[in-house]
Amino acid sequence: MKKFLFISILAAGLASCDSYLDINQDPNSPTEENITTDMLMPAAEMNVAASYGDYLRITGGYLTQVYAQYFGTSNYLDYSQFQMSAARSSSFYTQMTQRGQNNLKTIREKAAAEGDAGTYLAATVLRAFAYQALVDCYGEIPYTQALDENNLSPAYDDGLTVYNGLLAELDEALANVTTSSPVCTNFLFPDETAEPWIKFAKALKLRILMRMWNAQDVSAEVSALIAENDFPTADVAYTSCWADTEGARNPFYSEDFAPGQQQNLILNQALLGTMQLKDENNSVTYQDPRLAAFFKANTDGEYVGGISGSNLSTAADITSNTLCRPVATATMPLCMLTVAETEFFIAEYYARTNNASQAQSHYEAAIEASFASAGVEGAAENITQYPYDQANFEKCIGIAKWIAMSGVNPFEGYCDVRRLGYPTFGTATGDDFFDAATGAYDVSSYEPGTLYTPIMVFNQVGNNQVLQRWPYPVSSSSTNANTPDFPGYTVPVFWAE
């Protein structure tokens, strides 16, 4: 696979989060019977990966106080206030369904007809990955009747039904593939056979099963997966396909960091106050080495956090140079699933089955993997700072995972904050940290390892809770007569009930 092919395909426009690559037939396109899986897979990958690595990274970061809004700008201030409208996610939903899933459906059909088990598995993994993310946002989505061009109003399926369907699809694809099965042209594992896709599929199964834990007895399935121990040994990420040219940059970088783009994302005080601990004299007593890998220090070489719900435009001692932007480059990896995340899930499994020693071992392995991914030393000291506690395993895993995911895929942190309940909310609120009327900024009352109610929090979410689910997108509800009534912003999706 050549990089020039990737760049030429993307040239149609990766400039904003709702315009990523699409291959929809037009008069100049090959006829349907002449389209190959090699032609379709790169487009399908980018439909899924770009939406996940850009839109969900941004929203997940705001909704779990990894990010706050840049000084004086307002593009994502509503996310910062824990708000999501039915219109805001519509482009993302369309990208992941009508575009991404339609391409993946065609790939699966062609691969099945050709007996191409490796390509069939790859397309199934991406399909399951996308559908899981959609359930994790909306709770219920069209699935069993989806992608039928003759049915403009497919029924919405409950999340547990979708999850079980995805597991069945993955199992069916895995049953028919070998490690040496070839896979069509793709960006994720270029020039590889099906072996890394098999490992990715099993790690994705683990993610799905562990999310289901409180909704359905999946202990036997999880135990079998962990015993097999056939998970990725490196982060599953899009790496070598990016280039620092317009249309070929990492989507997250392209959205908020490329030349000419408005700056929006800054470090949130909640994450900062957990990764950088201070004493009563405001002296730093411990700083997580990953902080410098995830965020840039300000022009004074210091870390200052923004406050959810405000862009600090009236702050007396804050300027655009005071705050800290995420570390981002045009060619940075776009992580789909990390070794650290898998290890945290394994630790959680052992914690839930009362095997404290194995839980601790995998908890520590998860932190070590996060440090390795960040390219920094100091995991041992961090483990000492945040030791494993079997009696409070949800708290210690929840906080440690939130930190680890903050620098690579905060959406997964958002999912587990809702599911595990940690970090929980402290006693201080955003209004305690910043007074817009006077400009006073004082974060001394922040409690490490907690979230806080944003300034001007969305009133349908309210105090001391995160946004639990998103309203069904206008791009679906406006045309689908079977769209259910929205249950409310604070009603958990099935795995967090």
> What is the pLDDT at residue 18?
35
Q: 189-206 pLDDT, tens per residue?
A: 999 999 999 999 999 999
Output the six-digit token pair for 373. Answer: 């991914």
Q: Residue 44 and residue 95: Cα distance in Å, rounded?
A: 10
- Answer yes or no: is pLDDT of 31 > 70: no
- Closest CA relative to residue 267, chosen from 326, 322, 310: 326
Q: Residue 127 and residue 104: Cα distance in Å, rounded?
A: 6
**Averaged over 257-271, what is the pLDDT?**
96
Cα angle: 46, vertex 376, 300; to 5 degrees: 95
**Averaged over 133-160, what is the pLDDT?**
95
- Answer yes or no: is pLDDT of 486 > 80: yes
- Answer yes or no: is pLDDT of 375 > 80: yes
Percent of the chain, pLDDT > 70? Answer: 93
Residue 33's contacts (CB-CB under 8 Å, 6 or more residues apart) are none
C-alpha dist (Å) from residue 242 to 5, 43, 237, 246, 290: 12, 14, 11, 10, 23
Q: Residue 172 and residue 190: Cα distance in Å, rounded?
A: 23
- Answer yes or no: is pLDDT of 16 > 70: no
- Answer yes or no: is pLDDT of 132 > 50: yes
- Answer yes or no: is pLDDT of 332 > 60: yes
pLDDT averaged over every residue in the chain: 93
The DSSP line for 398-433 is HHHHHHHHHTT-HHHHHHHHHHH--S-B-S--HHHH
Give the bridge partners for 496, in sequence order.
none
